[in-house]
Amino acid sequence: MTPAQSSALVLSPEQFLQHWQGHRGLTRRVIDAFPDDKLFTYSVGNMRPFSTLAMEFVGMGVPTLNGVITKEWKSYAAPEAKTKADILKLWDETTAEINTLWPTIPPARFQEVDKAFGQWEMTIYALLLYVVDNEIHHRGQGYVYLRSLGVEPPPFYER
Amino acid sequence: MTPAQSSALVLSPEQFLQHWQGHRGLTRRVIDAFPDDKLFTYSVGNMRPFSTLAMEFVGMGVPTLNGVITKEWKSYAAPEAKTKADILKLWDETTAEINTLWPTIPPARFQEVDKAFGQWEMTIYALLLYVVDNEIHHRGQGYVYLRSLGVEPPPFYER
């Protein structure tokens, strides 16, 4: 690594937020692409239905950001949702909360190491990437559910 | 966005490389988890077999990096691979090439806009994230293939 490169700006906090919300917008379209009942009942290979995965994402986002900002990691449970409309409502509330919380992350936090929720010790930027990557990973699983249901999923490259 | 936050270091180029190679290491274990024949023949929902997806990743990595570094976008074709061993060999060659090329990315490039392969106009950091995200997305698809084959996939959180 040259010294010049190691001080390079890869992406700004604002660009990271845009990256995350771009993926969240795509996940919202994937949730919406499921037939209402299949969202809660369908899976392949004995895996979890997409409603459960979507609620995992809802359960991770704001609690993780709160921990990043306050250094207090409160245990959380994903709220209950019984219909697609419930999930989409929680999704949109989360979107707004993330946008409000993000600019309050102390700038030095991205490079600090912390033990998230008392369990996962890692640098904060890696924790935030993990939250995004976990969503991409499980959403990829949702694409297979949709395809095997004969439903065309939204294009992956559209954010 | 506070001015303080907008100049914050989110992650360094070296940390980005580590992020990418961490995911590539996991994808290698997913390739290896497939029974040899199923890697080339099995899929769910009429999607592509995992061998084809793995070769897409091989076909994207180094050509993208070369374009990032040289600003010349040469069209590419993923090389042919007929066995799991072929794919893993190409995988490991790519791993070494990425490690060699990465430190030669000019520091200012991450924030430059370019039209990758004459088609995809975006900021370079977003292009590099896209390459990683595309691998996470399709690897999530591979997890469903493995589960539906009764094979336990490697843990997602291990890099």
Q: Is B48 on the interface with A (CB under 8 A)?
A: no
Q: Do B13 and A4 touch (CB under 8 A)?
A: no
Q: Which amino acid is at A87?
A: I
- For B6, the closest of A14, A46, A126 (CB atoms) is A14
**Is residue A93 over pLDDT 90?**
yes
Q: Residue B116 in contact with residue B16, Cβ under 8 Å?
A: no
Q: Which residues of B touch A15 (CB under 8 A)?
A: 123, 125-126
Whole-number pLDDT of residue A51:
98
Q: Which residues of A touch B16 (CB under 8 A)?
A: 10
Q: Do B110 and A138 touch (CB under 8 A)?
A: no
In three-state secondary structure terms, A22 is helix
Q: For residue A71, is it left (φ>0), alpha (ψ between -120 and 50) or beta? A: left
Element (H, E) at B129: helix B124-148
Whole-number pLDDT of residue A131:
98
Mutation target to probe the A interface, by most A beta carbons within 10 A, among B123, B144, B159 is B144
Tens of pLDDT, residue by residue, chain B (159 residues):
555 677 789 999 999 999 999 999 999 999 999 999 999 999 999 999 999 999 999 999 999 999 999 999 987 777 789 999 999 999 999 999 999 999 999 999 999 999 999 999 999 999 999 999 999 999 999 999 999 999 999 999 998
Whole-number pLDDT of residue A126:
98
Mutation target to probe the A interface, by most A beta carbons within 10 A, among B5, B7, B130 is B5
Q: Which residues of B touch A6 (CB under 8 A)?
A: 12-14
Q: Which residues of B touch A30 (CB under 8 A)?
A: none
Domains contained in chain B, CATH given: 12-148 (1.20.120.450)
DSSP β-bridge partners for residue B113: B123
pTM of the model: 0.96
DSSP β-bridge partners for residue B115: B121
